[in-house]
Amino acid sequence: MLSGVNFTLAAGEALVLRGPNGAGKTTLLRVLAGLQPADAGDIEMPQGDSAYASHADGVKSALSVRENLQFWASLYGAPLDEGVFDDFDLAALHDRLAANLSAGQKRRLGLARLGVIGRKILFLDEPTVSLDRASVQRFGNWVRDRHLARGGIAVIATHIDLGLEAREIDIATFRADPVQTTALRGSDEAFL
């Protein structure tokens, strides 16, 4: 349980959540994203302009890389930004079935959907799991140059240095005494 977490983010700013396993990073992200209620407190942010991405990829195995991105773009009513294939190093994998991607490639595809849905506020839970060093850097570049630079906002739980000039908070310092809680979390639904 966390108490006293308080922050404000302006357009173009990112916040990195640090803290050991079990500190409450995922829980905080899910509360911010509206996926589970908080016991107390207020969250003020524009409605309908956020997306949450967790450990699960949300990749459709039966679709190709391009079809996956096309699917998400149309679902969110955005045109498919072709630049996303370069941004996430997917150009050579364009027509490959998602079922045949490696874990890291699948992860890159899962993250690339963030680049096509046009949401300004991103809540990202360990986005770089399975990524090699170059892909981590590429993702950090995308967050900085394509998302934040365009006025986006990101709250990112990560143990890894993404190379961002972001404020960091250590969630462990907000730990409160546990009280009786109800298990609220269901499946790890990620995006879709």
Ligand X SMILES: Nc1ncnc2c1ncn2[C@@H]1O[C@H](COP(=O)(O)OP(=O)(O)OP(=O)(O)O)[C@@H](O)[C@H]1O
Which residues would be at the binding site for ligand X (CB under 6 A)?
19, 21-27, 183-185
* CA pair distance 83, 87, nearest whole angstrom: 6
Q: How far is the CB of 171 from ligand X (least distance, A)?
A: 6
Question: Is the CB of 89 or the CB of 126 nearer to ligand X?
Answer: 126
Q: How far is the CB of 51 from ligand X (least distance, A)?
A: 18
Residues 6+ apart with CB under 8 A from 68: 59, 60, 98, 109, 113
Beta strands, E only, 114-183: 121-125, 153-157, 167-170
Q: How far is the CB of 14 from ligand X (least distance, A)?
A: 18
Question: Is the CB of 30 or the CB of 113 nearer to ligand X?
Answer: 30
Question: Is the CB of 84 or the CB of 166 nearer to ligand X?
Answer: 166
Question: Is the CB of 62 or the CB of 183 nearer to ligand X?
Answer: 183
* CA pair distance 97, 77, nearest whole angstrom: 23
Which residue matches tokens 């874990």?
A: 103
